[in-house]
Structure 1
């Protein structure tokens, strides 16, 4: 595996000044009568000019000599190196990649639609150039493959209290997705800074049925909470009536009272009161 190492380069401004001084010196040599030495020196000086190049911030130059990797330059500004070195520019800036919506079966076999956003950057310029054919295309394809593999490992909705699901645990899922993508992109000299789900939904063919199931689950949970509260209120009412001695009720009347209170408290519609103007019994 080819890993990045520092390549040979000099401060371009310093080399520029030296070459100007040498060029003037060789012209003076020619004027003094030593034409051959002056011409040879001028030609050699001219051959050094193609060695200048610019490095922008968050950018690297990968240099090769006759097919061999000789190093990378990250120092910004005007630089100079051996003119025979072939230089290729690699961006080290942070980039965003948003995958397309893909359809995949979750852990329970339900078809879902999922997409992700991956924040990445090149951290090893040599690996990015020499280990893969096209590192940008490699990032796109491997990110979608990692997303598909991760989505098939978890259920859409949690099946138990401790279970991790795609919809209910976004933080854990994001960390898992980041690890999955990083394992695949490490050989390309790429570091994944962040990975998160940008779209998550059931596939169209089952979306309606799953929505009804979610609504039914929510209704059942709400009803259970209402019944729990109503039972507590009825129990409290009976205890307070008994403690204050407001009225003495036998078991049959208690049952009727409990039934009426539960109807009032648990009903989803307003109840109509009935006023009893007769005797207690």
Structure 2
């Protein structure tokens, strides 16, 4: 037997009724000194009792007979089976696993701290019971291995000075990274009969030794991007001002005065501090 087999066993309430009859018959035999009947009845009673077992909702019982797999009982209820059967309980409920934060290197070689949150459940009791030594520990170890592999496939973030920007990053591409993590975990845990319901990054940050440097780098990148937008806006405003002045013949400016005007406007528009105005009360030549 190399795959899960669902079986049905005897109703426990019927066998409980039979057990009560045996107990009553044993007492009756003892009272009437019928030892020849009493001893066999007691032996049958003792043999029957271990056969009773319960299957709670979203749990299962894996049945073995002298090392041979008989089947799995998944339907909840009160049952009786061969007293020599060995019954191993396996939960079918969904379980959460929050892995430890591990330090790994991303695709660019930067050390990062990362952890994963996994929601899983057993879908094949045979694989969970016999194909791996301890399926719960197997889930923990494989989750750790999967998140380490995932972190090495993608960079933490993109920077404009990296040359070639990555389409998928650990920080920005949440959906894509989660799908890749689910697929990786599903492949690893399938041999243990585990179904991955959800997998996603639970914690993500640069390692402590480079966190301050990367924060400064992010701030510098943000400042450069903001300055770039400011300069673009300032250039368009200066261009519009010169065109309006020339179009409406408000004032005629030679190339030297245009250059001075452009310089002054760029300083005013691009400065990160308030400018101090200077009022010229003379002529344009002063």
TM over 0.5: yes
Matched, 1:177 2:181: yes
Q: Secondary structure at the match of 1:62?
A: strand
Partner of 1:153: 153
Matched, 1:254 2:263: no
Matched, 1:243 2:216: no
The size of the alignment, in residue pairs, is 281
Structure 1 residue runs without a partner (length 5+): none
TM-score with structure 1 setting the length: 0.89
> Structure 2 residue aligned with 1:186, among 162, 183, 190?
190
CA offset at residue 242 of structure 1? 2.9
Partner of 1:229: 233
* Contact 2:155–2:166 under 8 Å retained in 1: no
* Contact 1:96–1:118 under 8 Å retained in 2: yes
* Contact 1:55–1:75 under 8 Å retained in 2: yes
Deviations 1:170-222 (A, max 9, x none): 11111111111111111011111111111212222222222221111111101
Partner of 1:77: 77
CA offset at residue 244 of structure 1? 3.1
Q: Secondary structure at the match of 1:152?
A: helix
Structure 2 residue runs without a partner (length 5+): none
Q: State the superposition RMSD in angstroms.
A: 2.5
Deviations 1:107-130 (A, max 9, x none): 111111111111111111111110
TM-score with structure 2 setting the length: 0.88
The within-5 A match list for 1:5-20 is 5-20=5-20
Question: Distance between the aligned counterparts of 2:157 and 2:98, measured in 1?
Answer: 24
Deviates more, 1:17-26 or 1:102-111: 17-26
Question: Distance between the aligned counterparts of 1:120 and 1:238, measured in 2?
Answer: 66
CA offset at residue 37 of structure 1? 6.8
